[in-house]
Amino acid sequence: MNYTSLKTNIEDICETSFTDDQLAMFTQQAEEKILQTVDIPALRKSDDGPLASTNKLYTLPTDHLYTYSIAVITSSTNTFLLNKDVNFIREAYPVNTSANYGLPKFYAQYSATQIELAPTPDANYEIEHIYGAYPASIVTAATSWLGDNASAALLNGALLEAIRFQKGEPDVIANYEKLYLQAITLLIEFGNGKLRRDAYRSGQTRVPVQGSQGGGQ
């Protein structure tokens, strides 16, 4: 479903003509709600690069929605970092001096644009950051992953916003909310079916992964 079809469906079902700004608002509100509710593997990206010694703050990509995993890479290991609250890091590493530097083990959301690593890196490393990206809206791009693969969730989400905007009857709102939640459930199941869950997402203990040693070793 492209944006033109989406707008037509919204107006046909609501039996109302909306302004372009209103249609864009309904659509973008639905997109935001879906992306904040469902982890969609197809929308993940990798942001890899150098991690400088003594720099504990990592700047997030501009399209960052959430962090899926962070690994610090050395010549022999990939160490997956544990997600902690920033207060945990403050208590665990109250003094940021060279005596407390080391291979990072934890990360926390420091601000809207940065992640804090702990302990502070004691050397130059490589970082592998897998994150959920906020895609371009179907409003501006005309097509999108949600429009192509989750049209029921997108349409019913936008309809729910439109009907609430119209101050629709409670039973009508409840009906479209039910349809939206059904579509979201299917989208979650789709994502889970495509996703190979590993120890790092299932809450099991994380350990360094040894680098490749060649076949049979």
Amino acid at 215: G
pLDDT digits (tens, 9 = 90+) for 75-97: 878 899 999 999 999 999 988 88
Walk across the sheet containing 209-210 and list its strands: 44-51, 125-133, 64-73, 77-80, 209-210
Mean pLDDT of 20-41: 96
Q: Return the pLDDT at 189.
A: 85
Give me the mean pLDDT over the 145-172 stretch: 96
Q: What is the pLDDT of residues 101-121, one digit of tens each?
A: 999 999 999 999 999 999 999
Which has more pLDDT, 195 or 158? 158
- Pairing verdict, β 106-109 and 82-83: parallel
**Residue bearing the bigger pLDDT, 133 or 212:** 133
In this prediction, residues 127-155 reach a mean pLDDT of 96
**What are the residue boundaries of the structural domains of the chain, listed by start?**
3-40+135-194, 43-133
What are the residues whose beta carbons fall under 8 Å from the beta carbon of 170, sequence distance 6 or more?
none
pLDDT over 80 (residue 207): no
Distances (CA, A) of 54 to 61, 97, 118, 153, 206: 21, 9, 10, 45, 24
Q: Which of 108, 101, 109 is nearest to 125 (CA)?
A: 101
Dist CA 111 CA 96 (whole Å): 18
User: How would residue 213 be classed by pLDDT, with cut points 50, 70 and 90?
Assistant: very low
Whether residue 125 is predicted with pLDDT greater than 80 in this model: the reply is yes
The amino acid that residue 144 corresponds to is S
Are 104 and 118 in contact, with CB atoms under 8 Å apart?
Answer: yes
Query: Looking at residue 95, what is its pLDDT?
Result: 82
Question: What is residue 47's predicted lDDT score, i.e. its pLDDT?
Answer: 94
pLDDT at residue 193, as a whole number: 64
What's the mean pLDDT when you consider all of the chain? 88
What is the pLDDT, as a whole number, of residue 190? 80
29 vs 139: CA distance, rounded Å? 11
- For residue 200, name the pLDDT band (cuts at 50, 70, 90): very low
CB 129 within 8 A of CB 74: no
Share above pLDDT 90 across residues of the chain, in percent, rounded to a whole number = 79
pLDDT given for residue 77 in this prediction: 85
Average pLDDT over residues 122-133: 94
- The fraction of the chain above a pLDDT of 70, given in percent, is 88
DSSP 70-130: EEEE-SSEEEEPEE--HHHHHHHS-S-SGGG-BS--EEEE-SSSEEEEESPBSS-EEEEEE
> Would you call 61 helix, strand, or coil by DSSP?
coil
Q: What is the pLDDT of residue 6?
A: 98
Q: How many helices and strands, by DSSP H and E, does the chain display? A: 7, 9
pTM of this structure: 0.77
Which residue is associated with the tokens 């904040």? 36
* Residue 34, pLDDT above cutoff 60: yes
Q: Nearest-5° angle of CA 138, CA 46, CA 37?
A: 50
What the block records as the tokens of 34 is: 């879906």
Q: Are strands 125-133 and 64-73 parallel, antiparallel or unpaired?
A: antiparallel
Q: What is the predicted pLDDT for the residue at 194?
A: 55
